A and B are shown apart, each in its own frame.
Chain A
Amino acid sequence: MQNRRAVRRGAVARARGAAGDLALTVVVVAFVLPIAWGIITALKPEADVFDNSVQSLLHATDFSNFVSAWNFGPFGQFLLNGVIVGVLGTALTVATSLMAGYGFARLRFRGREPLFAVYVATLVVPQEVLVVPMYLFMRDLGWINSYQALIVPWAFSAFGVFLMRQFFRTIPVELEDAAKVDGASHGYIFGRIMVPMVKPAMGILGLFTFIGYWNSFLWPVIVINSKSMATVPLGLEYFLTQQGYIWNLLMAGGTISILPGTLLALLLQRWLSQGISLAGLGGR
């Protein structure tokens, strides 16, 4: 009797599990659909774009739209600009955040806490508050339509300093004390002892900084005015305005722009989920 009940309970659980799997599959398909539909449309000849029949879906194998979109973009240029701006901006942000984070975490000087409080207070300042004066500043520097304008203004974020300081503070002081007894300089302690210990946090800061640069739209729209300097989002926006609504080409441009982030997510799969909990962004 006991046994039979257990078996029945097992069957119910299995059925429930199957229903759950089915529901989850529906959710996943619905989630992927917008991008999948974009890719399918990008593979259609123009006459077929609004033909949703199965037959037209099966014939969606026209890669020429991707080639046309790529060349018209030119998406190669947009991607290159995005990489240049993202890499340099990230390097600058991580380097200066590491140094200042170490300073705030470990060095003793008068006014440290008030100064840090000022940094923290700016964490809530929306970018939109900064863009108008920043635009005027860029104009006066003669930086309009340049890589510097895309990179430099956002490379000194309070967030990076804050994050790095928190991580440096979790490292036991004993490690540096031993080095100090041996007469090591701050430069040595920073470079050889501290930085290697916060590598995971550097990775997280680096990733999110890069994504920020890569996807930034408001600022490039303001400060860039030519295709040759456009990053991917702005380049795609130019593409959109110039192509009008030639949907298959538009979708080709759209999915090309989505591809790098997708690859990044898949490559960093293991690291992403662990990374966020590691940086404590969601840790308890």
Chain B
Amino acid sequence: MTALVERAGLAGSNPGALRGHGHRRRKERSDARAALAFLLPNGIGFLVFTLVPVIASLVISLYSWPLIGTRHFVGIANYRALFTKDSTFRAALLNTLYFVAAYTPLNIGVSLGLALWLRGYSRGRRLLRVLFFVPVLTPLVADSVVWSLLYTNRNGLIDEAVHAVFGVQGPNWLSSPHWVMPAIIIMSVWQGFGYNLLLFTAGIHAVPELYYDAARVDGASAWHVFRNVTLPLISPSLFFGTVLTIISAFQVFTQAYVLTAGGPGTSSTTLVYWLFEKAFDDYALGYASAIAWVLFVIVIAITLLQMRLQRRWVHYEV
């Protein structure tokens, strides 16, 4: 992860600073006492509110742990139950994978496309980028509430539009088992792409104009310029954005909670929604923690996989 973020440029572009410790090392003194004072405030909180809960969560997942009453150790029984008995969990896993698989490319495609498009405008483009960023700054609950009106099948705006364009009655989005996930995905892309738009814009603007001039002199087409100049040069931003987008997509919850309560049936039940239900409606804390760890392991595995694959397509040298 360090490598990921550092390489993606979080460190700022000052490679010298990373090596700037040489002459301090000569003194070989320790600042242990000062370090304790500086690290303690964060360190205690980090220990109590991050490290301990992570371990505790794993331990709890090995127990049958009701909110009230006695708990007892069950080993991996919760995990076994998840994968053998729990059909809702299976649905939640599939819905979440569906969400990630559709949301991620849509989000990246829209934000990258718009970032490239807006580059050609000199006036008003900053305002537009900020406009697209607005939903990122607003509560997802509020965005969901506003979209729930669009999705109604009683003269809802989207149905009207579908009727006008295709001449057919639109689906009843939020109560159709087939359309509920697409509805949630569309809304989520609308809400979330603004972040990556700013991210990619920053990457695009860091590409030296020189490269474009050179490409133009060679008579390269717009596609060639994109494919051979822009894309490799912004690949670190693209990689960073994709990793973060996928991680956050796996955590999809609010939309399902507010718009559909996971329904109809289990059609929009996601992993986190099911975790929440299990923990805070059924009070099965051990079982819920097992769901959390399955989610965690998936996220880690996919992140590691991406870091391995990045060698094939991400270029860090300019």
Residues on A lying within 8 angstroms of B by beta carbon are 20, 24, 27-28, 31-35, 37-38, 41, 50-52, 95-97, 99-100, 102-104, 107-110, 112, 115, 117-137, 152-158, 161-163, 166-167, 169-173, 186, 190, 211, 214-215, 217-218, 221-222, 232-234, 236-237, 240, 247, 250-251, 253-255, 257-258, 260-262, 264-266, 268-270, 272-273, 276-277, 279-284
Contacts and interface: CB of A to CB of B under 8 A. Distances in A.
B129 interface: yes
Contacts of A97: 42
Contacts of B296: 125-126, 128-129
Interface of B: 1-2, 5-6, 9-14, 17-18, 20-21, 23-24, 29-32, 34-39, 41-46, 48-54, 56-57, 60, 114, 117, 120-121, 126-143, 145-150, 154-155, 157, 160, 190, 198-203, 205-207, 233-234, 236-237, 240-241, 247, 250-251, 253-254, 257-258, 272, 275-276, 279-280, 285, 288-289, 292-293, 295-296, 299-300, 303, 318
Cβ-closest 7 pairs across A and B: A156-B45, A277-B202, A282-B202, A261-B137, A103-B38, A100-B42, A257-B142
User: What is the interface of chain A mostly: helix, strand, loop, or mixed?
Assistant: helix
Contact of B258 (A50, A237, A264): A237
29 contacts: A28-B131, A32-B131, A34-B147, A103-B34, A103-B35, A107-B31, A107-B35, A108-B35, A129-B57, A129-B296, A130-B57, A132-B285, A132-B288, A135-B280, A137-B53, A156-B49, A215-B140, A233-B140, A251-B146, A257-B141, A265-B131, A272-B130, A273-B201, A273-B202, A280-B9, A283-B12, A284-B206, A284-B233, A284-B236
Contact of A134 (B53, B117, B120, B129): B53
Contacts of B56: 133, 136
B53 A217 contact: no
B39 A240 contact: no
B127 A269 contact: yes
A279 B36 CA distance: 27
A167 B277 CA distance: 41
Given A120-B1, A173-B21, A129 B54 contact: yes
A268 B136 CA distance: 14
Given A32-B131, A41-B149, A133-B57, A152 B9 contact: no
Contacts of A281: 9-10, 199, 202, 240
Nearest to B205: A277
B193 to A, nearest CB: 10
A269 B42 CA distance: 31
A108 B257 CA distance: 48
A218 B14 contact: no
B46 A218 contact: no
A257 B129 CA distance: 21
A265 B143 CA distance: 16
B50 A156 contact: yes
B206 A129 contact: no
B256 to A, nearest CB: 12
B9 A122 contact: no
Contacts of A133: 52-53, 56-57, 60, 289
Contacts of B318: 284
A254 B145 contact: yes
Contacts of A171: 17
Report which residue of B36, B43, B117, B140 has the largest number of chain A beta carbons within 10 angstroms of its beta carbon. B43
Contacts of B127: 269
Nearest to B28: A108
A118 B51 contact: yes
Given A35-B146, A236-B141, A262-B138, A218 B272 contact: yes
A142 to B, nearest CB: 16
A236 to B, nearest CB: 5
A186 B31 contact: yes
B138 A155 contact: no
Contacts of A217: 139-141, 253-254, 257
Nearest to A102: B38
B2 A120 contact: yes
Contact of A258 (B42, B146, B205): B146
B285 to A, nearest CB: 5
Contacts of A251: 145-146, 149
B139 A214 contact: yes
Contacts of B149: 37-38, 41, 247, 250-251
Contacts of A240: 141, 145, 258
A10 B129 CA distance: 28
A130 B12 contact: no
